[in-house]
């Protein structure tokens, strides 16, 4: 086990480096910069260089293909469009989508995406970059925690396990709020553990409550769960001493409230409390009591049916490492050491909460993936080829992200239709749709067109197209019946798959033509009116 003050020594090395640079003779800016960089521990220490290399490799893996794969309805385009409109409007308090308030999530992910767009442009790659950065950073954070717990090998394996888990690969390239929250959740869990050893450390106090606050700003109350684990751990340890004082907890919660309040108070004031009512009331409380957006089953029967949901999905989500989970959990639960008990309590708390709430999605368990990775790394056999398995898994992911994404790009109708229309579009072109109501259409249209997108009834089409200036209206072909078409309008058609809507369909390429859940096919037609029409 590495010495307990390793982290403190590393920080001291950095401070001494900058002290020496500051007091060194002035030999030019380049000399000072070179001397500073070359003495930092993450440059001269091969362990640090190894983790920097891992971060860059994972970042490249998670970014591969992100400019090719279109944003997937419905969540990705909503987040991306809200971030773009935040950047365009300059309002960094209230996110909006298509000009209307979006209360679903706190603003941290929008801030990150808008910043990436400001630097790289308002496109798919920039919208997904923050998730990739936070996923790679979480892998490094997990490795650092594992290294401090049980040495270099455990840390390295833990970083590889987390970084190559299937659900991490999926959400590391998704333009949604999960990966920033997972990073801050893991940071808070680690800081909470360290505080059990050094409850009076002011640095750990700040790190713990800052991570809780930023996690809340990333995805809401779920990020506050690491606040509970130290108390559960102290109770199960059987000791009488509390892990931290109530005064420390109270001060910490005030600190969290102050950070969140810098954004939250203006947001509540400007929306007259609506942000809280919808963001917490609907997307936390209601999501817990009834399935939302068909993510679960209604009624008591449906609730009981979906109780084992995560037992079924975790083997896929944590693949390829899920094969090690049964033996790992069995060993960890058998007379667990203090650290293992802490990890198991946190995992159990998250698992229990998401099992009991009504709305269920496989990625809801992502916050425990760093902790599962630590347990797997701590109990894996010394001769287990973890690095080779991680490399092979990453190779498969890279193939999927390059050739795979390129092959399915034409199946996304929103992006491909707008690309067909792009030669005709101008910044002042008005856009609308009838029937086809996917947010991706808004995202891709507004990369060129300034006006907000409109969703129309069939009876409104004629008046919309008659308004002055260029216009485009998109229909599902089935909704085109009964629309009086002007011969001067240009028609552009495109067919593909709607990945936001799935249904059971026969698969002709398989024996017996079994019916499997597949995305629905959709045929779109765009009616285009030019400036002179």
- Which pLDDT tens digit goes with each residue over 142-161? 999 999 999 999 999 999 99
Q: Residue ranges per domain, the chain? A: 138-402, 412-529
Task: State yes or no: cis peptide before 101, omega within 30 of 0.
Answer: no
Shortest CA distance to 168 belongs to which of 189, 138, 146, 147? Answer: 138
User: Which pLDDT belongs to residue 224?
Assistant: 93
pLDDT in tens, 100-124: 999 888 999 999 999 999 999 999 9
pLDDT value for 500: 87
Please state, rounded to an integer, the average pLDDT across all residues of the chain.
Answer: 86
Please report, in angstroms and rounded to a whole number, the separation of the first and last CA atoms in the chain: 76
Type and span of the H or E element at 500: strand 490-506
CB of 180 closer than 8 Å to CB of 220: no
Q: Which of 310-314, 406-410, 483-487 has the lowest mean pLDDT?
A: 483-487
User: pLDDT tens across 320-371, in order?
Assistant: 999 999 999 999 888 778 899 999 999 999 999 999 888 888 999 999 999 9
Q: Position of tokens 């058609």? A: 493
Enumerate long-range contacts of 13-16, CB under 8 Å, 24 or more apart.
Answer: 13/39, 13/40, 13/41, 14/40, 14/41
Please give the full DSSP string across 315-370, using - where no structure is assigned: HHHTTTGGGGHHHHHHHHHSS--HHHHHHHHHHHHHHHHHHHSS---GGGGGGGHH
DSSP state of 72: P
335 torsion bin: left (phi>0), alpha (psi -120 to 50), beta (else): left
Pick from 397, 380, 395, 317: nearest CA to 146: 380
Query: Which residue in this structure is represented by tokens 């997108």?
Result: 453
Which pLDDT does position 35 carry in this prediction? 53
Predicted pLDDT at 98? 95
Mark 334-373 as b/e (b = at least 16 C-beta within 10 Å): eebeebbbbbbbbbebbbeebbebbbbbbbbbbbbbbbbb
Mean pLDDT of all residues in 521-527: 94
What percent of the chain stands above pLDDT 90? Answer: 65
> Quick one: pLDDT at residue 40?
54
């Amino acid at each position: 086990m590495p010495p307990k003050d390793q982290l403190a020594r590393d920080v001291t090395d950095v401070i001494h480096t900058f002290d020496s640079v500051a007091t060194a003779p002035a030999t030019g800016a380049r000399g000072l910069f070179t001397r500073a960089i070359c003495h930092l521990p993450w440059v001269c220490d091969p362990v640090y260089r190894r983790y920097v290399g891992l971060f860059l490799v994972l970042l490249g893996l998670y970014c591969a293909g992100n400019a090719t794969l279109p944003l997937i309805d419905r969540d990705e385009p909503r987040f991306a469009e809200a971030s773009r409109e935040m950047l365009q409007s300059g309002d960094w308090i209230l996110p909006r989508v298509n000009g209307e308030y979006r209360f679903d999530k706190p603003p941290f992910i929008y801030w990150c995406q808008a910043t990436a767009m400001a630097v790289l442009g308002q496109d798919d790659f920039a919208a997904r970059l923050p998730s990739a950065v936070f996923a790679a950073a979480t892998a490094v954070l997990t490795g650092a925690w594992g290294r401090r717990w049980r040495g270099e090998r455990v840390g390295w394996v833990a970083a590889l396990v987390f970084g190559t888990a299937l659900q991490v690969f999926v959400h590391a390239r998704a333009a949604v709020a999960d990966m920033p929250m997972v990073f801050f959740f893991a940071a808070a869990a680690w800081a909470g553990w360290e505080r059990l050893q050094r409850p009076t450390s002011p640095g750990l106090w700040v790190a713990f409550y800052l991570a809780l606050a930023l996690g809340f700003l990333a995805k809401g109350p779920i990020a506050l769960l690491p606040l509970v684990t130290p108390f559960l751990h102290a109770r199960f340890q059987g000791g009488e001493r509390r892990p931290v004082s109530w005064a420390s907890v109270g001060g910490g919660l005030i600190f969290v409230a102050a950070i969140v309040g810098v954004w939250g108070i203006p947001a509540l004031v400007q929306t007259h409390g609506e942000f809280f009512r919808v963001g917490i009331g609907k997307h936390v409380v209601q999501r817990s009591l009834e399935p939302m957006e068909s993510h679960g089953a209604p009624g008591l029967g449906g609730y009981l049916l979906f109780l084992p949901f995560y037992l079924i999905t975790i083997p896929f989500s944590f693949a390829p490492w899920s094969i090690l989970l049964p033996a790992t959990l069995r060993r960890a639960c058998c007379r667990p050491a203090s650290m293992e008990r802490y990890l198991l309590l946190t995992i159990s708390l998250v698992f229990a909460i998401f099992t009991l709430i009504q709305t269920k999605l496989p990625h809801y368990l992502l916050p425990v993936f760093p902790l599962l990775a630590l347990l797997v790394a701590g109990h894996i056999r010394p001769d287990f080829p973890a690095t080779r398995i991680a490399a092979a898994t990453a190779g498969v992911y890279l193939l999927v992200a390059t050739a795979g994404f390129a092959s399915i790009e034409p199946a996304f109708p929103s992006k491909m239709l707008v690309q067909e229309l792009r030669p005709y579009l101008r910044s002042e072109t008005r856009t609308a749709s009838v029937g086809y109501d996917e947010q991706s259409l808004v995202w891709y249209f507004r990369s060129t067109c300034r006006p907000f997108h409109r969703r129309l009834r069939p009876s409104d089409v004629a008046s919309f197209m008659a308004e002055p200036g260029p216009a485009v209206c998109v229909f599902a072909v089935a909704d085109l019946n009964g629309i009086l078409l002007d011969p001067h309008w240009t028609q552009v058609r495109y067919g593909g798959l709607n990945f936001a809507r799935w249904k059971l369909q026969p698969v002709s390429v398989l024996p017996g033509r079994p019916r499997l859940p597949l995305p629905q096919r959709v045929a779109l037609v765009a009616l285009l009116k030019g400036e002179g029409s």
